[in-house]
Amino acid sequence: MKGRREYIIRKAMELYALKGYQNVSITDLQFSLDIGRGTLYYYFKDQDELFRTCMEHYFLEPKQRALSAVPEDVTIDKMIDAMLDYLHSLREALMTFDIKTINTSNVNDLMFTAYSRFPHLHRKAQRLALKELELWRKAIYADQRAGLIRRDIDREQIALMFAHIKNSYDSGLGQTQMDFSLLEKTYSEFHKLLKI
183 found inside a domain: yes
Answer whether 169's CB lies under 8 Å from 88's CB. no
The number of distinct structural domains making up the chain is 1
Mind listing the pLDDT tens digit for each residue in 130-174?
999 999 999 999 999 999 999 999 999 999 999 998 877 654 444
Q: What is the mean pLDDT of the chain?
A: 88
- Residue 171's pLDDT is what? 46
Q: Where residue 166 sits, what CATH number does that domain have? A: 1.10.357
Task: Give this prediction's pTM.
Answer: 0.86
Residues in the chain: 196
Residue 179 main-chain phi, psi, to 5 deg? -105, 120
Answer whether 124's CB lies under 8 Å from 34's CB. no
111 found inside a domain: yes
Answer whether 53's CB lies under 8 Å from 9's CB. yes
> CA 21 → CA 30, 41, 54, 139, distances in Å?
15, 18, 11, 37
- Residue 169's pLDDT is what? 63
Domain limits for position 70? 47-194
Answer whether 153's CB lies under 8 Å from 194's CB. yes
